[in-house]
Structure 1
Amino acid sequence: MDITSPQLVEDLRAYLPQHDIPTALTRLAEQFAGRVAFSTSFGLEDQILSHFIFENQLPIKVFTLDTGRNFQETYSTWNKTLLRYGQPIEVVFPQREAVEQLMRTKGPNSFYESIENRKECCHIRKIEPLGRALAGQHIWLTGIRAEQSANRQHMHRAEWDASHQLVKAHPLFDWTWDQCLAFAQENGVPINPLHAKGFVSIGCAPCTRAIQPGEDFRAGRWWWEDAAAKECGLHATVAEHQGLDPVVERVPG
């Protein structure tokens, strides 16, 4: 199947909300055999998608980006997930030379000094490794939900990702936080303990904090920056795809 066809994105946008997640994931795994990947950061949404993939033994590549700056709670959740499902999770690390160069020239906390420095760190630790992890894939599954931010409410369940030349699909797009939490609790899905401490969006430890009641879901990411300037590029998507309406998201990964 030609993944560059705009009809594919339109078909997925229509198909995903009409079928339960296991059915949808099974179809994708069959239709794009060996070309479907899911990126997990071990937050609540990602744990639920991992559950669907592992419980149904779907041939979908599950991977995580180990930036080298993760919370210990995230590593613990990772380990519990391996024990719970007994399925492999691939890990992609940053390029050693790039990290060493950054640390040698700018030190361990350069990202606090300027947006440019923070984007440089994000690129080295997240964006470049992601590109390697997605190479050759046709479908990229994510845990993005519309409720997570104002920008994400304007996204679709399926989009063309021009930067990686593949289709991004968000199976949990219309789920609420409460739905996710209830599902995880009812099905014994390992939950990152940081969620109970007020962390709803979990990234690198130096760049993530708990949010206060009433704050936006993304307020805990790069909190020292102006909200309008926040992005790392992980989910920077231009869905300008041969006639599709352009959808641009600039939010943290």
Structure 2
Amino acid sequence: MDTYRLQQLNAQLKGMPIEDAIPFILQNIQGKKVFSTSFGIEDQVLKHYIAPYSDEISAFTLDTGRQFNETYEVFQRTLDKYPSLKIETFFPDEKDIREYVHKDGINGFYNSIESRKECCRIRKVVPLQKAIKGASLWITGLRAQQSANRETMDYLEWDEANQLVKYNPLLDYTLDEVESVVNKYGIPINSLYARGYLSIGCAPCTRAITKDEDFRAGRWWWENGKKECGLHIHAAKNN
């Protein structure tokens, strides 16, 4: 999709309620649409709005094999609340996991940033490529408030690496606004959230944060710098 068309659509989306924005996107972008969920609070809100369009949007999750049990619990509660919603699970390749553990150890990601990124690549990035194959639109729960490198995002962006358009419906939402939607509609959320896990990934790589810490501080807390796993860092501005 060309830059001018994305700019046009972004201008129309600004200020549009999400319940109107989802069908607007479906009408204006052709091809396969996918929605990725890690069962974080943002993704749970999106499921509420996407569920009525489950025939047009394919939902998926990446099971890294190192998830919290609480994540599986909210997975089931979500399906119970939204029976029309189908969520396909993608897993890492067993051979890749065996080779990684043989080389770096079962918890090798603690040893170096390179080892951690390789674990993320095997358990997340490679399965993601399978999940979004053939898609023209990828819907995410990213918010600008989550981290400094997400503040320059648009609702719709061209993802050069994956050759598709990424759609960030909750871009301008604050955490308070997300929580308000959850409370209004009784949307199930991960029970870890109330215990300070605002950003929930793999169990060995996630901890609770205090009220004074950055939103992403609980992810890979032993590292400094940007806290990303490789799923979204390649997103480019509309070019």
**2:121 is aligned with 1:123:** yes
Name the structure 2 match of 1:237.
Answer: 234
Scaled by the length of structure 1, the TM-score of the pair is 0.89
**2:112 is aligned with 1:105:** no
Name the structure 1 match of 2:172.
Answer: 174
Scaled by the length of structure 2, the TM-score of the pair is 0.94
SS of residue paired to 2:135: coil
Work out the percentage of aligned pairs sharing the same amino acid: 48
Matches within 5 A, 1:1-253: 3=1, 5-32=2-29, 34-57=31-54, 59-86=56-83, 87-226=85-224, 228-242=225-239
The whole-number CA distance in structure 2 between the counterparts of 1:49 and 1:196 is: 19
Cα distance, 1:153 vs structure 2: 1.4
Cα distance, 1:29 vs structure 2: 2.3
Structure 1: runs of 5+ lacking an equivalent: 243-253
The whole-number CA distance in structure 2 between the counterparts of 1:146 and 1:231 is: 14
The whole-number CA distance in structure 2 between the counterparts of 1:81 and 1:33 is: 28
Q: Which has the higher contact order (CA 8 A, sep 6+)?
A: 2
The whole-number CA distance in structure 1 between the counterparts of 2:235 and 2:52 is: 33
Contact 2:153 2:237 in 1 (8 A): no
How many equivalent pairs are there?
238
Structure 2: runs of 5+ lacking an equivalent: none
Cα distance, 1:26 vs structure 2: 1.2
Cα RMSD (Å): 1.5
Partner amino acid for 2:116?
R
Over 3 Å counting, the alpha-carbon distance change for 1:150 and 1:229 in structure 2 is: closer
Partner amino acid for 1:136?
G
Contact 1:159 1:169 in 2 (8 A): yes
